[in-house]
A and B are shown apart, each in its own frame.
Chain A
């Protein structure tokens, strides 16, 4: 079965500090894509960062970076210099397999609070 797991239901971070959100996944596919989505209180789903499994280099988008450990099937998100606007639900997600129409599988989410 293809699954995405987030073991931290809630996290908090002081403004300007760094926080890491954990994610693990399980798949037998060799070709897949990993994503982190942010869902603020408006509940819109916003793509934060993505990682192609065949790339060894960790993806980075401004203050957001990932630590992709393929052998361990781990895909954590690091948020540096946390801002109040980072407070949201964060979902780790993956598209497993080759067919382009393949669905995205979401983890259960981590609720991030940012303390002023």
Chain B
């Protein structure tokens, strides 16, 4: 199984900050990576797929990059509605998720 490791597990940030979340795969997965946002009590929401393609309707402040084993999700200017938990997911083999990164209000 491909193991996905996100860092950090959680952090605090302020509205307007630029934040970056990292996801590392235990083996190369090309660009077969998606990012999701999950708010408490809600289902995850697809933000990015193919490592860097923005899902329709997702604000352009979200961006993704990387290929192979190392990937990043960047939020260019954090908004109040962005405080949530973020998950990466690889689809190089059967689907596997990272453990999540919680973005909290500072």
Decide if A and B are genuine partners.
no
